[in-house]
């Protein structure tokens, strides 16, 4: 929706095909760095809570922490509803002249448009129709506890290929997991049982990770369709907005967009994968090496 909004603002005729009957992503933790306000200033009214740090727990049997690392964010994070954010941006897009057609899944590439941008999610039909490889996938599951909590930190518990999280959202608490799709539900259920947690509004969705952009002058991809998420957290909103701005800067030259995307994101993806593996390894094997209090830039680990 962000691309549709900004392209319409630039005077382009924009049509957005939304496969669902209503706008809004529900299976998303909605934890964004303050950069979100640089892209969508109007989203300030959606802030539910402010997050300044994270406690990362490496656990032994029974989910008992064997090591805990506190990481402070150099730029604070905000808890927001992704569903409400999507609807806010859709309203901005329509007010700027974009045409949004709901309940319209695409089963063939329309020929009447000069440019086509596939922003159709992790299981992108546009990506598949171009014969491109699939990104790597993990499964995300989330649920909510009806208990108010305005703490300014989140907690995570490390698991295979991911982590379980706890996010205080003001009026409620969110718990979730990102992990291998075969293990995620079993791990999450075990964690909830051990901690006597009974969640409401359970959602789930696949989380991609990759950088898959076609060499095509007429058709390209953006966002989850590219697989563009942070390797350490699975979050993708701010990275997708940065990618959208790269596309807007180079529009309508999709090949220049592809080149600049790889130049900007590929080093960050490689670095963050290596850094994540090192930190996980140290936490499990040499926890005394890790500092007890550390500061990072939450979108780029620097």
Backbone φ, ψ for residue 125 (5° rounding): -70, -35
Residue 55 lies in a domain: yes
Residue 242 lies in a domain: yes
Conformational region of residue 103, where left means phi above 0, alpha means psi within -120 to 50, and beta covers everything else: left
Residue 301 lies in a domain: no
Tokens of 111: 């020929």
| DSSP secondary structure of 145-209 | ES--B--SEEEEEEETTEEEEEEE-BSSEEEEEEE-TTTHHHHHHHHHHHTT---EEEEEEEEEE
Per-residue pLDDT of the chain (302 residues; tens, 9 = 90+): 999 999 999 999 999 999 999 998 877 889 999 999 999 999 999 999 999 999 999 998 778 888 999 999 999 999 999 999 999 999 999 999 999 999 998 889 888 999 999 999 999 999 999 999 999 999 999 999 999 999 999 999 999 899 999 999 999 999 999 999 999 999 999 999 999 999 999 999 999 999 999 999 999 999 999 999 999 999 999 999 999 999 999 999 999 999 999 999 999 999 999 999 999 899 988 988 988 788 999 999 87
- Rounded to two decimals, the pTM is 0.95
Residue 22 lies in a domain: yes
Q: How many CB atoms lie within 10 A of CB 171?
A: 13
**Pairwise CA distance, residues 195 & 238, whole Å:** 32
**Count of structural domains, the chain:** 1
Residue 302 lies in a domain: no
CATH number, domain of 107, equals: 3.50.50.60
Residue 116 lies in a domain: yes
Residue 117 lies in a domain: yes
Q: For residue 239, give the DSSP letter.
A: H
**Pairwise CA distance, residues 30 & 12, whole Å:** 30
Residue 167 lies in a domain: yes
Q: For residue 96, give the DSSP letter.
A: T
Range of the domain at 154: 1-296
């Amino acid at each position: 929706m962000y691309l549709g909004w900004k392209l319409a603002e630039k005077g382009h005729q924009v049509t957005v095909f939304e496969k669902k009957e209503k706008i809004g992503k529900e299976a998303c933790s909605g934890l964004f760095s303050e950069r979100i306000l640089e892209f969508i200033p109007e989203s300030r009214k959606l802030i539910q809570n402010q997050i300044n740090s994270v406690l990362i727990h490496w656990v032994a049997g029974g989910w008992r922490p064997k090591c805990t690392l506190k990481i402070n964010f150099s730029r604070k994070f905000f808890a927001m509803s992704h569903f409400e954010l999507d609807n806010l941006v859709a309203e901005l897009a329509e007010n700027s002249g974009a045409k949004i057609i709901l309940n319209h899944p695409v089963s063939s590439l329309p020929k009447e448009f000069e440019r086509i941008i596939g922003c159709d999610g992790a299981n992108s039909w546009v990506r598949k129709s171009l014969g491109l490889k699939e990104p790597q996938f993990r499964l995300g599951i989330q649920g909510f506890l009806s208990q108010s909590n305005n703490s300014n930190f989140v907690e995570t518990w490390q698991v295979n290929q991911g982590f379980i999280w706890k996010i205080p959202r003001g009026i409620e608490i969110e718990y979730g997991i990102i992990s291998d799709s075969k293990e995620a539900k079993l791990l999450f259920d075990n964690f909830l049982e051990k901690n006597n947690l009974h969640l409401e509004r359970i959602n789930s969705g696949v989380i991609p990770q990759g950088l898959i952009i076609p060499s095509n002058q007429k058709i390209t991809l953006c966002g989850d369709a590219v697989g563009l998420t942070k390797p350490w957290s699975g979050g993708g909103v701010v990275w997708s907005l940065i990618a959208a701005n790269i596309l807007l800067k180079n529009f309508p030259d999709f090949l220049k967009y592809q080149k600049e995307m790889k130049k900007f994101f590929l080093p960050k993806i490689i670095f963050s994968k290596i850094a994540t593996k090192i930190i996980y390894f140290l936490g499990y094997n040499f926890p005394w090496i890790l500092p007890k209090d550390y500061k990072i830039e939450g979108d780029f680990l620097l």
